[in-house]
Every structure is written in structure tokens, then in C-alpha cells.
Structure 1
Amino acid sequence: MIFKRVWATTSVVALTGAVLLTSAPNASADYIRDKQWVIDVINFKKVWSESQGQGVTVAVVDTGVDGSHPDLVGQVLKGKNVTGNGEEAQDDTDGHGTGMASIIAGQGHGVNNSSGVIGLAPRAKILPIKAANVDDFNDDQWANGIRYAVDQGADVINLSFTDSLASPGSEGAKAIEYAQQHDAVVVAGTGNDGIDELPYPAKLPGVVAVGAVDESLDVWDNSNYGDGVTLVAPGVNIVEADPSQSSGYSNGTGTSDATAYVSATAALIRAKYPDLTAGQVINRLIKSATFLDRKVKRVPDEEYGYGLIRPYSALTMDIPKGPKQGPLAQSSQSSSANSGTASRDDDNTNQAKKKKSSSGNIFLIAGVAGAVVVAAVLFAVIRSRRNGRGGGPGPGGGTSPQGTGNLPQPPAGYQQYPHAAAPNQGYPTPPGQSPQHPNPYAQQPPHQGQ
């Protein structure tokens, strides 16, 4: 059965022109790395001192993953194509799956891996599950893909799409339940329509439902909200590998990208704490999250869920393991009871909560308001990935014009970040904090419970 499906990435802007997929001038390579604002905000180097995702497999159920992309060479396992079209799991003409994989486990390329896209968990392995040919998903097929991934030992399963037919009792829901029974962390995007409704599979019990925040760490206006949001993560202006573009790169925005960052964080936790169950990994994700200075009166909040991910805190905080099933399994039985026990201090749960409107109504972090990551670059082309299937566009669906233009060359006098290898890691040292993106994590906001 063909389902109504919407990408959890709304738009992708091609990064073309100066940047080449294989051999590129240093300026161009640094230009790609320079645009990765999340490196500064999360402080990848600090996170990598605790974990790089080693020994963990993340299944990316998507359009396939191009393992020949320079930033993913050696990172992608064989995987499986469940579409029946005769292609390999590493055939990705759409580029969406490759983009998600690069956010999770990209390791860059070139000297000291200082060029291209670097992922948050660069030593995790990607298991590609090709479940779509551009936009043709099949409910039974992607469900079979999840089961295959579980049987191959996947520790984390990334679902950067929505499916209006994946309700309880569907093949997709049964496959996700199978994954949870076999101790896999399942992560899905909340969708990109800016409405008070979560889609499937994100709102299925036990699934980590992820919304997106922008460069100021405000909830992105088009991120769906409401009951069931678990966490938020960066999802605006995210540079990712993209074999569908002549440059090999694109700039994506949507809850797809945020989902990939949460999957990467789960991989980091599983690498450092291999004895934790999937539920206990989710517990650590939730209890290390933060609302920064956002005012909420009930936890989980309808927009932020349990808060913004903090990968380093997730790896280092003193957090009891908790029940094997984790907080989401408990919440599915009694949301009101567990909202008071799901790792939030009383002062946080009693704070006033803002109404949904625009990011301007959220209290901004000092020094972050108005931050714009690509001030010198004009994006000319928008590629929509919000196509609907099965009877018309899904919620917020439809197709925007697909562009073919090129990104302008880096401006004259463009200064690259000085990249260097991180000690004993073989990965580049992230750029220093720039005036555009002071690190809000460094402000050490109160954590959300122990």
C-alpha cells in the first residue's frame, strides 16, 4: 500500500559552483566546514573526548545512502534495498538519506579530515535501508526495512519522514514495536507544517519525536508541536552531503535534520554506555536536555518536549539508569503522572509557558538573538521534499519548484577557519566560537533534573 508521506526536510538549497565533490581547493573545502554552525554550538571536540559513536550501528531508513561520497567512505555498511527496484542500498539519486547519514556519521575528507561534512558521531556505522525511490515509499516495504535493520543488530533507527498511515496496528507500527522489543532506539521527526499535531510514526509509543530549532535555538516556526514532542535539536540551515547535487553538498532545513542529530546523540550514548537499554538511553537523552531560559509550566512542553539536546551532558551527567523501559514507555501509560517524574525540577515545571506563535515570543539567549549563520552567502535555489503520496499531498505537503541554480562563489577575501587534528582522534578541531554564534551551551543553564 502506498502511504501518504511527507519528508521531514522541507527544503534543500544546493551548494554548488565553487565546491567540488572529490578534489576541491582548500578554500572551498573550508567553506563547507565553515558553514556547519552546529559544530560550534554543540562543541563537537568536547563531545568527542567522551564518545565518537564507536561500535554503534545507526540504521537510516530513507532513500539509500551513497557510501562513495568522500565524507562517508568507510562509514556505510551494505544494507538492503526493500523497494524491489533492483538497485543497491547505496544508490541514492534523491540525496535525502545520504544527507541524514552525513549528519550522523560523516567524517569529512582530506588532510586531517578537515574538509566536507563532519557528523556528530563520526565513528558510528551507517546501515542504509533504501525504502524509497525519491518519493515513492511503500508501507510494507519500509516496515520490512526496519525489521531487517533490527535483525542486523542496529542500535539506533533513524526515520526522517512522516507516514499518515503508520497508526497503531499498521505494519509500520508493528515493525517499530519489533525494534523496541529488540532494544533499538527509534527516532522520528515531528514534521514541518507548524501545526499542533504530531504525525506518525513520531507519535507512536516509545518513539523519540524530534522537533527542530534554528540558529538562535528557538523552535523553528514550521516544526510541528503538541502532545508527544520528546526533544528538539538543530534543524535549520544544516549543511549535509547530497549526491543529487553537482557539488555533492546541500543546505537543508527541517525536522529530518534534527532527527539525525538526536540519532547521533543516541549513538554516542550507546557507545559509552553499552550496558544501557534503549529506554535507558532515551532516559539519559531526556534528563540531560535543557530549556535554557525558555519558560514552561508543564513538562513535556508542547514545543520543546523535554528540552534541547545536550550531547556532552548526556555523556557526562550523573544520571541513574532508571527503569529498563525508559520514560517514554511510562509516559504512554500515564502522561500526567510521569510529567512530574520525567526528570524535571519543580521550579521548571512551575514556570509560565509561552503560547505558540513565532520565535520572537520566546525569551532569547543573551548573545544569540539575531544570529545568522550564512550572512555572506545568497541561497538561490530551494528544493522541496514535502511531496505527498497516496491520494494527494500530506499535511503541509505539495511540491515547491525544484531549483537548478548554483550557490555563488565564496566572497573575495573569504577567510577559512584554521583546521587542525583533534588530539588522538584524527578528526579536525572545530572552529573557535565566532561572534555570530556564541555557544549558548557554555552558559551552563540549569539542567533538567538528575
Structure 2
Amino acid sequence: MRLLRGIVATATVAASLALLAAAPASAATPEPAPVATPDATPPPVADDPKDPIRASEYWLDGARIREAWRTTRGKGSTIAIIDTGIGRPPGAFDGAVADGTDVSGSGTPDGRTPLGTKDKNHGTWVASLAGARGAADGTGMIGVAPEAKLLSISIGFEAAAVVPFTEQIAKAMRWAVDHGADVINLSLTTNTLDWDESWDDAFLYAFEHDVVVVVAAGNRGSGTSIVGAPATIPGVLTVGGVDQHGDASVEASTQGITIGISAPSEGLLGVSADGTVVTWDGTSGAAPIVAGVAALVRSAHPDLDAANVINRIIRTATAVPGVKRVPDPLYGYGLLNAAAAVTADVPKVSANPMGDLEEWIRLYRRAESDPAPEPTVTPIAVPPLPAADAPTKPGSPLLPSAESLRYGTLPLLALTVPGILVALGVTAAARRIRSARDRRTPSP
């Protein structure tokens, strides 16, 4: 398993962030779709265009997130971040983290202590893209759903983790569901298509409790050559990555047939646990952007179930020029369009468009296969045994019987008589020889 970590560099206001501020928005974004007028329009988000950090978040306009904020900013929805733990950078998550836990056996009970040596800030970066609050004066990094609640579930990825990785994920999924998650974000991969059977029940538990599960596709740059589990599990919304122009990322994403939606994965920002802002690449960052949009949809449409939340996100995606069929292995259904996902008129569906895990289990795990037919046994006719010999009348044990004469006395006589005759013949011959020798011997 691995975190979907991309290229990371410490950001400075004068250099890295200024460069990102000049990055163009997605070239594939179409004209804005008609936006429904909400009953109660929220006040405008404090936004300082002169702030280099805020100006560097190009995806807020490229994915039309700022437009979606005219309707909702995620209030009332909860996103579970299953990762290395959401740290406590100054001001970034004030009032955002509602609860937390550790399932690795190495963290703190509240899940807020970053785990690991190399990737300990990963969970904090992911959370900042999904739901960082931003400062009241409109400066600092702001997440896609800045009014959504966050759950911090810390897991360990390194070999020294006390609890096996598969067990951690299964436990984390159930804890998130039981503690009110509307959306679960998984910015991780196993680099294999299949997954442990314990995940069948864990993910099915989330789907049965109406939770949207968002998963990163993986990054070629970090060694992921194929889309691996959990991004291959039916029912999850798998996120591929694109650059600032809306083109599929080469290093910062992996492509495959399970991708449902594409979102920015290059030149992203993240707040570390110590408050430092960094730039990084990877679908680890694309996934929480989509998870944030899922929270916006759930906030704006609390009547929709998880299947219809996912359906709104993929059906309102911006079409990619040149792509003829969807889903496409590079882009899925297209580029993320938050405003359309929140406000467009989308027909409801009765099933998750990303697949049915329960049906997959039935077909491939054979969990609900029909019982084997009872074997039928045909009786075999056995011929009757022959009648037993009539019992013989008992006689005296001192007198010979027919059986003893046949098998005992007669064979014994047959062997004994010839032996006696031979012995007598030998004896007579010996006497004759001795007599003859005596007659030839002269007298002294």
C-alpha cells in the first residue's frame, strides 16, 4: 500500500505560490451552466485576490467551485479523512474537525497526531484541500467545502504499523460511518487490482448507510502503473488527475477504466501540521477536491442518496474535447464542474452508476450462491447369500470323524508308511553288506 504522494516542495509567497497564481484554469471548461437561485443565498466568501495563497488555488475557478459557493459551502455535511491524521496548523481547521480516532495502534485517540516519518503531513494536506477554513480576512488556504465538518481517522502506512493495513482500513471505514460521515475520502492505493475480503463488508457497510466514498486513482510518478484497490471496488467514485489546462496528468495520475471523474492533480497547495503551505502533485489531492464537491452537493440536496450524489457529479462533468465515448480511461465522465453538480437539473437514478459491490460479491466471492443440490442415492440390489450347510450331528471327540480322517489321519499315514518301509529297507541292506564283509575276512 502507499500514499498517493506526488512532488512536494515548501511553498514561499515570493516564488512557488506566485508561480501557481499565474497557472491558467482548465481550458476545457465550458460556459457556465444556469445556476439555480437558492432560497437563502449565503453571504459571500471572504476572498482577498491580493493574497498569493488564495490566488494560487486555481481550481476554485477552474472547477467552478466559487460559483457553487453561491449556493452552499458544505454546511451540514461531514467528510471523513482516512489518512495519516489531520494536524493542528494554526487557524486552518478552527472548528472544522468534529471528531477523530486512530486505528493504527500508533497514534493518539483523537486521530490528530500526524503519523509516519516521510508522509506524516499527507493527511493534513488532504484535509486542507477538502475543508480548510481560511482566515476571516480572506487570506490563507481555503478548502472546497469550508463549512463542512471533518473527521480525522489516522492510519499507519509503514512497515512498523502495529495493526495490519487491511484491518486498519476496514476498521476506519466502519468508524467513519458510525460517526456520521456523509463522504469518505481515501487518498491511498494498494497497487493491486484485488483487495482483501475484509474490505467487502467494510465498503458494503458504507454503501448500505448511504455514504459517498471517494478514492484516488494513483500516480505513475510514485510507482503506481495501474489503478489499484480501493479504486477498483465497485461503487466508489474514483478520481483521476489533470493539469492546470485540463489535460490528463502523466506523472501525477494513473488512468484506467474505473475512473469516474477527473480533477486537478498538479500544482496543488496543502497546509502542513506546522502551518507551512506546500505545493504538491497527485491524485491524493484531486480526490479531496471531489470529496469537497460531494459535500457541497449533499449540503445543497440533503434529500439525495449517495448514488444520486455521485450521479450528479459525473453527469454534470465538463466534456473533454476529442473524447468520443464516456466513461473514458483517461478522464472518466469528464472534468469536475462543481457549480453544475450543485445546481443543474439531473434526473434521479435508482442505482449507483459506479457499480454494485453487493452484486460483485455475489458473482465473484459467491457469498450468495445457491446451495449445492442434495445427492440422490439409488439402492443397489444384492443377490441373497446361499443357504448355510446343515449342522452335523456332534460325535465323540475320541472317535475319528470324516473330516479328521480326510485331513489328518489319511495324509499322516500316507507320509508315515513309506517312511517306515524306506527305513526298513535301508536297515536290511546295511545288514547284508556287513554279513558279506564278514565272510571275506580270513581267520588269523
Same fold (TM over 0.5): yes
Task: Give the superposition deviation at 1:169.
Answer: 4.8
| CA distance 1:37–1:134, change in 2 (3 Å) | farther
Aligned partners of 1:219, 1:248: CA distance in 2, in Å? 28
| CA distance 1:278–1:210, change in 2 (3 Å) | same
Kindly tell me the number of residue pairs found equivalent between the two proteins: 318
| CA distance 1:173–1:15, change in 2 (3 Å) | farther
| CA distance 1:158–1:166, change in 2 (3 Å) | farther
Q: Which has the higher contact order (CA 8 A, sep 6+)?
A: 1
Task: Give the superposition deviation at 1:291.
Answer: 1.9
- What one-letter code is carried by the residue in structure 1 that aligns with 2:250? D
8 Å Cα contact 1:64-1:98 kept in structure 2:
yes
- 1:72-91 mapped onto 2 (5 Å cutoff): 72-87=93-108, 88-91=110-113
Equivalence for 2:148: 124
Aligned with residue 318 of structure 1, among 345, 363, 366: 345
Equivalence for 2:130: 104
Task: Give the superposition deviation at 1:133.
Answer: 6.2
TM, length-normalised to structure 1: 0.66
Aligned partners of 2:13, 2:65: CA distance in 1, in Å? 28
Task: Give the superposition deviation at 1:298.
Answer: 2.5
Equivalence for 2:2: 6
Task: Give the superposition deviation at 1:268.
Answer: 0.5
- What one-letter code is carried by the residue in structure 2 that aligns with 1:161? L
CA RMSD of aligned residues (A): 2.7
Secondary structure in structure 2 of the residue aligned to 1:312: helix
1:159 aligns with 2:155: no
Aligned with residue 306 of structure 1, among 330, 333, 344: 333
Aligned with residue 204 of structure 1, among 220, 233, 241: 233
1:49 aligns with 2:70: yes
1:62 aligns with 2:86: no
Equivalence for 2:387: none
| CA distance 1:32–1:228, change in 2 (3 Å) | same
Q: What are the ranges of 5 or more consecutive residues in structure 1 without an aligned counterpart?
A: 20-26, 335-450
8 Å Cα contact 2:210-2:305 kept in structure 1:
yes
Aligned partners of 1:330, 1:7: CA distance in 2, in Å? 26
Aligned partners of 1:51, 1:329: CA distance in 2, in Å? 28
Task: Give the superposition deviation at 1:203.
Answer: 0.8
Secondary structure in structure 1 of the residue aligned to 2:95: coil
**1:353-402 residue CA offsets vs partner (Å, 9 max, x unmatched):** xxxxxxxxxxxxxxxxxxxxxxxxxxxxxxxxxxxxxxxxxxxxxxxxxx
8 Å Cα contact 2:65-2:337 kept in structure 1:
no
Equivalence for 1:190: 217
| CA distance 1:292–1:133, change in 2 (3 Å) | closer
Equivalence for 2:243: 214
Secondary structure in structure 2 of the residue aligned to 1:116: coil
Aligned partners of 2:230, 2:357: CA distance in 1, in Å? 17
**Max radius of gyration: which structure?**
2
- What one-letter code is carried by the residue in structure 1 that aligns with 2:242? V
- What one-letter code is carried by the residue in structure 1 that aligns with 2:319? F
Aligned partners of 2:195, 2:113: CA distance in 1, in Å? 31
8 Å Cα contact 1:166-1:172 kept in structure 2:
no
Task: Give the superposition deviation at 1:176.
Answer: 1.5
| CA distance 1:28–1:81, change in 2 (3 Å) | farther
| CA distance 1:17–1:280, change in 2 (3 Å) | closer
- What one-letter code is carried by the residue in structure 2 that aligns with 1:230? G
| CA distance 1:163–1:312, change in 2 (3 Å) | same
Aligned partners of 2:343, 2:13: CA distance in 1, in Å? 42
Equivalence for 1:387: none
Aligned partners of 2:74, 2:13: CA distance in 1, in Å? 33
- What one-letter code is carried by the residue in structure 2 that aligns with 1:98? T
Secondary structure in structure 2 of the residue aligned to 1:258: helix
Q: What are the ranges of 5 or more consecutive residues in structure 2 without an aligned counterpart?
A: 16-47, 361-444
Task: Give the superposition deviation at 1:45.
Answer: 3.0
8 Å Cα contact 2:130-2:145 kept in structure 1:
yes
Task: Give the superposition deviation at 1:332.
Answer: 9.8
Aligned partners of 1:46, 1:159: CA distance in 2, in Å? 26
Larger fraction in helix: 2
Secondary structure in structure 1 of the residue aligned to 2:98: coil
Aligned partners of 2:107, 2:286: CA distance in 1, in Å? 31
Tell me the percent identity: 36
Equivalence for 2:314: 286
8 Å Cα contact 1:69-1:241 kept in structure 2:
no
Aligned partners of 2:158, 2:5: CA distance in 1, in Å? 13
8 Å Cα contact 2:294-2:310 kept in structure 1:
yes
8 Å Cα contact 1:58-1:126 kept in structure 2:
yes
Equivalence for 1:234: 264
